[in-house]
Amino acid sequence: MMPVKVTFLGTAAGIPTPERGLPAVLLDFDGEHLLLDCGEGTQRTMLQLGFGLCRRMRIFITHLHGDHVFGMPGMIQTMNLLNRAHPLEVYGPPGLKDFLERSTFSMMSEPVFPIKVHEVQQGMVLSCKGYKVEAAWADHAVPNLAYRFEFGGSAGRFRPSKAEALGIPEGPLRSELKDGRSVQLPNGSVVNPADVLSEPVSGIAVVYTGDTRRCKGVLELAKEADLLIHEATFGSDLVDYAAQQGHSTAADAAEAAKDAHVKKLIMTHISARYSDSGTLLREAKAIFADADVATDLAHYTLKS
Amino acid sequence: MMPVKVTFLGTAAGIPTPERGLPAVLLDFDGEHLLLDCGEGTQRTMLQLGFGLCRRMRIFITHLHGDHVFGMPGMIQTMNLLNRAHPLEVYGPPGLKDFLERSTFSMMSEPVFPIKVHEVQQGMVLSCKGYKVEAAWADHAVPNLAYRFEFGGSAGRFRPSKAEALGIPEGPLRSELKDGRSVQLPNGSVVNPADVLSEPVSGIAVVYTGDTRRCKGVLELAKEADLLIHEATFGSDLVDYAAQQGHSTAADAAEAAKDAHVKKLIMTHISARYSDSGTLLREAKAIFADADVATDLAHYTLKS
């Protein structure tokens, strides 16, 4: 399958710094841009990196705090100036539609190409050719959705010749096996899905949290993911403040990665007070070894 | 008098480029920030350059196209997070109040410090200790104000000893002279203001256009200014398109500088198509010698 390229466009928390822009992560898969949050300045960083704004694109917004959404009006204006023709699909929590209407009211920024806004909730958000997206409520000061992206991957394909050889009659028993459930044949023998299906193809799963305390919703969403992108606004010096503000520490992010048995953790949404993120990284690595702190423009390529 | 420091924060037209951010110019005078337009990304550039967001500050908006205003909501959110206490004063054309209300409606960005919005028209906008600001209608697709900032400067002071020596009686004749008008004495002799006033102190005048065709309003506003910051979106290759879109070419900007007898011209709002601005500079210099094309982060110090 095609690889997934993950690029951190902005890795700051609410206040940008010279090194960290406001939050945005780009997943690049099979010629389509999936943009996770859209902080102020995102359009310029995309243009700097050569990610065109007229390509197929979906935006997934975690929540409606300004630092996660204020890049959208300007990006839409630029898309207008570039004569974007492709529709733009935007997903996010309730209130997204109202935000977009208010903020693009200004002259020249009302979209002149089709823009489809999907206000979504916990559950399956999207299933299309090549990938599917699921959301879960995280735990922040305002409604915040975490997203799981599953690229490629498929259950094993049904092999009629194998079913024939095992004497499985056409009909409901075969359907059960195709759906991944074991069945008992009339002669009493048990057939498992693996007996009649080809090897399943594993995909690539990426989970992105937006802002959140460590919480059960994210833990379940992130189970066995290849990559968990978890906010880590603070270090152990501000445990209480993190909880009070609805944020995670580096240790919280690492605990989530460990409990969800993910392969890799990348922390982002780093408070401006940590000009050196070394402490955050050490605190996370003490709990979960394969941890990184994201830096702006860093990119990772995920292959299945 | 204190010098005026002019810093170009963003010099692009509607679409940012890797080299040029969206429009904003900062005048730094006597510890106060005067921000001219506030394109997306302005807050980060200010922080990068060490211009604090909690200082005394006034914002002057030329017009309500997104590329000139979309930096404001995020800047206000950051000011909230930094616990700004100083009021923020924002000046601009009618519609500014509505834009700010709509765009800061999002959670966390509604200002928690005093914000005073002044919707202004052509004429005197502001006169305060140290400087005064005048506006004139420029000529763009939507209402666009050009601003003239006059820093320091004063008429000559009245010298009673000189008046005494010339035999000018106390009363209305002296008032006329103080106000800069010549008078005739009872004995028939004429006295000019320069005979009884000290040398006037010249100030520093800076004019900023926002988006505009070359027009009479800007010409009159810019008369004898020390610095004219004029948009020059296009070159001579796009004369007709510039006129149609309500923009200037480099030659238009230079003609304005020449006709207004300014000391220096700096062109900004450069279309993304000119990755090399050399042509624009040559076209301007052929008409007005002391011309520059602004680059991001360039700064100039003006002294009287």
Looking at this predicted complex, what is its ipTM? 0.87
Cβ of A106 within 8 Å of Cβ of B65? The answer is yes
Q: What pLDDT score was predicted for residue A198?
A: 87
| Percent of chain A residues topping a pLDDT of 90 | 86
DSSP-assigned letter for residue A125: E
Q: What pLDDT score was predicted for residue B202?
A: 81
**Measured between CB atoms, does A18 come within 8 Å of chain B?**
yes
The set of long-range contacts for A183-186, using a CB threshold of 8 Å and a minimum separation of 24, is none
Residue B106 has pLDDT above 70, yes or no: no
For residue range B34-76, list pLDDT tens digits in order: 999 999 999 999 999 999 999 999 999 999 999 999 999 999 9
Contacts of B41 in chain A (CB under 8 A): 40-41, 44
Residues 31 through 60 of chain A touching chain B, CB cutoff 8 Å? 39-41, 43-44, 47-48
Q: What pLDDT score was predicted for residue B40?
A: 98
Cβ of A67 within 8 Å of Cβ of B48? The answer is no
Q: List, in order, residues 6 or more apart from B125 with CB less than 8 Å away.
A: B60, B91, B118, B133, B134, B135, B147
**Nearest-CB residue to B73 (from A18, A48, A70):** A70
Measure the CA–CA gap between B107 and B303, rounded to whole angstroms. Answer: 43
Residue B302 has pLDDT above 70, yes or no: yes
For residue range A5-16, list pLDDT tens digits in order: 999 999 999 999
**Which amino acids of A are annotated catalytic?**
67
Which of B154, B185, B188, B144 has its CA nearest to residue B167? B185
**Measured between CB atoms, does B23 come within 8 Å of chain A?**
no
Q: Which two tokens stand for residue B37?
A: 């337009």
Cβ of A106 within 8 Å of Cβ of B142? The answer is no
Q: Using CA coordinates, name the residue in chain A closest to B63.
A: A107
Average the pLDDT over each of A99-108, A207-216, A234-243, B149-158 and give the range with the smallest value.
A99-108
Average predicted confidence (pLDDT) for chain B:
94
Q: What pLDDT score was predicted for residue B293?
A: 98
Which pLDDT band holds residue A195 (cuts at 50, 70, 90)? very high
Element holding B127 (H helix, E strand): strand B123-128
Overall average pLDDT of the B93-119 stretch: 88
> Which has the higher per-residue pLDDT, A193 or B262?
B262
Work out the minimum CA distance from B48 to partner chain A, whole angstroms. 5
Q: Which range scores top for mean pLDDT: A168-172, B152-156, B290-294?
A: B290-294
Q: What pLDDT score was predicted for residue B201?
A: 79
Q: Where are the alpha helices (DSSP H) in B42-120?
A: 42-48, 66-69, 72-81, 96-103
For residue range B264-285, list pLDDT tens digits in order: 999 999 999 999 999 999 999 9
**Measured between CB atoms, does A112 come within 8 Å of chain B?**
no
Which pLDDT band holds residue A107 (cuts at 50, 70, 90)? low
**Catalytic residue (one of B37, B67, B139, B252):** B67
For residue range A43-65, list pLDDT tens digits in order: 999 999 999 999 999 999 999 99
Q: Which range scores top for mean pLDDT: A294-303, B148-157, B191-200?
A: A294-303
Q: What pLDDT score was predicted for residue B111?
A: 84
Contacts of B47 in chain A (CB under 8 A): 15-18
Q: Which two tokens stand for residue B271?
A: 């279309």
Q: What angle do CA A96, A98, A102 make, to 5 degrees?
A: 120
Which of B97, B39, B96, B41 has its CA nearest to residue B68? B39
Longest Cα–Cα distance in chain B = 75
DSSP-assigned letter for residue B72: H
Contacts of B105 in chain A (CB under 8 A): 99, 102
Give me the amino acid identity at A95. G
Instruction: Give the best residue of A51, A75, A77 to mutate against chain B (max B CB count within 10 A).
Output: A77
- The answer to whether A250 and A236 have CB atoms below 8 angstroms apart is yes
Residue B257 has pLDDT above 80, yes or no: yes
**Nearest-CB residue to B43 (from A16, A48, A77):** A16
What is the fold of A4-153+202-302?
Answer: Metallo-beta-lactamase; Chain A (3.60.15)
Which of B99, B104, B102, B96 has its CA nearest to residue B145? B96
Q: What pLDDT score was predicted for residue B107?
A: 64
Residue B168 has pLDDT above 90, yes or no: yes
**Nearest-CB residue to A81 (from B14, B73, B77):** B14
Cβ of B77 within 8 Å of Cβ of A69? The answer is no
Whose tokens are 């095609």? That residue is A2
Residue A105 has pLDDT above 80, yes or no: no
**Measured between CB atoms, does A21 come within 8 Å of chain B?**
yes
Contacts of A48 in chain B (CB under 8 A): 18
Work out the minimum CA distance from B125 to partner chain A, whole angstroms. 24
**Nearest-CB residue to B41 (from A44, A69, A105):** A44
Instruction: Give the best residue of B22, B51, B106 to mutate against chain A (max A CB count within 10 A).
Output: B106
Residue A242 has pLDDT above 80, yes or no: yes
Cβ of A108 within 8 Å of Cβ of B66? The answer is yes
Average the pLDDT over each of A169-173, B7-11, B109-113, B187-191 and give the range with the smallest value.
B109-113
User: What φ, ψ does residue A36 adopt, rounded to 5°?
Assistant: -105, 110
Cβ of A43 within 8 Å of Cβ of B16? The answer is yes
**Nearest-CB residue to B107 (from A16, A18, A64):** A64
DSSP-assigned letter for residue B18: S
**Nearest-CB residue to A40 (from B41, B105, B108):** B41
Work out the minimum CA distance from B91 to partner chain A, whole angstroms. 17
Which of B67, B107, B104, B49 has its CA nearest to residue A93? B107
Overall average pLDDT of the A158-168 stretch: 92
Measure the CA–CA gap between B205 and B304, rounded to whole angstroms. Answer: 9
Measure the CA–CA gap between B138 and B142, rounded to whole angstroms. Answer: 10
Residues 77 through 96 of chain B touching chain A, CB cutoff 8 Å? 77-78, 81-82
Residue ranges of chain A that CATH labels 3.60.15.10:
4-153+202-302
Q: How far is CA A43 from each of CA A22, A74, A258, B170, rounded to the nearest angstrom?
A: 11, 7, 34, 67
Measure the CA–CA gap between A275 and A282, rounded to whole angstroms. Answer: 15
**Nearest-CB residue to B44 (from A16, A69, A109):** A16
For residue range B116-132, list pLDDT tens digits in order: 999 999 999 999 889 99
B67 has catalytic annotation: yes
Question: CB pairs below 8 Å between A and B: how many?
Answer: 123
Cβ of A40 within 8 Å of Cβ of B74? The answer is yes
